[in-house]
């Protein structure tokens, strides 16, 4: 059952869930099967309707407890960032007003349009990129590969601003500056940003229910997992085009320059199925840009006998959206490319 108490929610959620390492009798760390949290901890409906909870108005203990919760189960976040609001406590859903200026948003849209590289969006099922299956995703995308960024200096500069702002919002682990920021994580614990992408939704286009985390088999092969999704809205959509969290029943309406931050997987690499979400049908044109932070985990080859139970998670909740809601690809079979 969702909790709507304003305090002590930070402390409650931090105490409620602990990550899957426990001391062994000999004093070492013992890996144990770990069941992902299935509960949801909400803020009050009144706070949600007013735009979310402002951490700066909470007491030091409350902020510290929520910070510990983010660091222990997800990723540390700079809760002092201007414009930051919390829409859901667990799983954490955060927005940041004014993350990019209107001019910076316009520069990304103009550069993406001028590049001529917007293409039909694809999705990844079972770790392999495919074209839209069963009308799951109908947007168009610019994939900002290393080659594209080298050939499109205006786009590179515009997206570089978003990357710089991401460093001010996420408190770690973060990759080094320069080219290494976009390198694939080479070992457990190493962080890297995936190359950013820009997407356009024309009226009626959407992306049905999906999750951003890689499926366990893909994680075992790649050796890394998506830990944070940072989505920035590049124009206003007064109606339609919302990012709807199907399980949480929270919808974020696009506002130019605002950012949406959530965490597709836990710190140990297990998918958080509670973050299933849908890009609802656009009523007018909608532009977004997205950046993922991935962190390395042990591959199957590095784990004799396969991935340990705490990385695989345990069978249980299907993570399915409520009945009657549109869905796309089955949870944990999809990885998104916007």
Which pLDDT tens digits describe the chain residue by residue (338 residues)? 344 344 344 444 444 443 333 333 344 445 556 678 888 999 999 999 999 999 999 999 999 999 999 999 999 999 999 999 999 999 999 999 999 999 999 999 999 999 988 877 655 544 434 444 556 666 788 888 888 989 999 999 999 999 999 999 999 889 888 766 788 888 888 999 998 999 999 999 877 888 899 988 888 888 999 999 999 999 999 999 999 999 999 999 999 999 999 999 999 899 999 999 998 889 999 999 999 999 998 776 665 554 444 444 333 333 444 444 444 444 433 333 33
User: Which pLDDT value is given to residue 33?
Assistant: 63
Topology (CATH) of 95-336: Jelly Rolls (2.60.120)
**Residue where the block lists tokens 């944990």:** 332
pLDDT the model gives residue 301: 66
Q: How much is the pTM?
A: 0.81
pLDDT at 64 (0 to 100): 92
d(CA 66, CA 253): 25
Cα–Cα distance list, 146 to 104, 142, 153 (Å): 21, 12, 11
Give the Cα separation of 100 and 290 in Å (integer): 13
**In this predicted structure, what is the pLDDT of residue 179?**
62
Exposure string over 135-155, b if 16+ CB within 10 A, otherwise e: ebbbbbbbbbeeebbeebeeb
Delimit the domains of the chain by residue range.
9-76, 95-336
Find the angle CA(332)-CA(334)-CA(335) to the nearest 5 degrees.
110
Handedness of CA 250, 5, 228, 268 (dihedral sign): negative
Beta bridge partners of 118: none
Which residues, in sequence order, are bridge partners of residue 332?
none
Question: Distance from first CA to last CA of the chain, Å, rounded?
Answer: 32
In a 3-state reduction of DSSP, which class is residue 119?
A: strand
Predicted local confidence at residue 291, as pLDDT: 94
H or E element that contains 102: helix 102-115
Contact 29, 21 (CB under 8 A): yes
């Amino acid at each position: 059952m969702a909790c709507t108490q304003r305090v002590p929610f930070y402390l409650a959620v931090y105490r409620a869930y602990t990550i899957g390492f426990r001391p062994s009798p000999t004093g070492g760390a013992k890996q144990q099967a770990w069941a992902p949290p299935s509960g949801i901890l909400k803020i009050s409906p009144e706070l949600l309707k007013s735009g979310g909870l402002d951490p700066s108005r909470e007491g030091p203990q409350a902020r510290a407890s929520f910070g510990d919760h983010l660091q222990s189960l997800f990723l540390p976040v700079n809760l002092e960032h201007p414009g930051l609001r919390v829409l859901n406590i667990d799983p954490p859903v955060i927005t940041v007003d004014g993350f990019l200026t209107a001019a910076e948003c316009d520069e990304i849209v103009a550069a993406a349009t001028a590049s001529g590289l917007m293409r039909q969006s694809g999705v990844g099922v079972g770790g392999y990129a495919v074209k839209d299956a069963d009308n799951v995703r109908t947007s168009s995308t610019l994939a900002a590969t290393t080659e594209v960024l080298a050939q499109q200096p205006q786009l590179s500069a515009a997206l570089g601003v978003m990357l710089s702002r991401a460093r001010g919002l996420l408190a770690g682990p973060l990759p080094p500056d320069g080219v290494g920021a976009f390198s694939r994580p080479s070992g457990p614990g190493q962080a890297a940003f995936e190359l950013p992408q820009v997407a356009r939704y024309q009226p009626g286009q959407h992306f049905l229910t999906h999750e951003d985390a890689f499926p366990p088999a893909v994680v075992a092969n790649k050796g890394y997992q998506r830990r944070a999704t940072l989505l920035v809205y590049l124009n206003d959509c007064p109606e339609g085009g919302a990012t709807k969290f199907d399980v949480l029943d929270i919808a974020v309406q696009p506002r130019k320059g605002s950012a949406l931050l959530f965490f597709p997987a836990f710190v140990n690499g297990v998918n958080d199925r509670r973050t299933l979400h849908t890009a609802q049908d656009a009523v007018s044109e909608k532009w977004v840009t997205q950046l993922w932070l991935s962190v390395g985990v042990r591959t199957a080859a590095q784990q004799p006998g396969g991935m340990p139970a705490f990385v695989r998670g345990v069978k249980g909740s299907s993570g399915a959206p409520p009945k009657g809601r549109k869905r796309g690809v089955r949870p944990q079979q999809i990885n998104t490319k916007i």
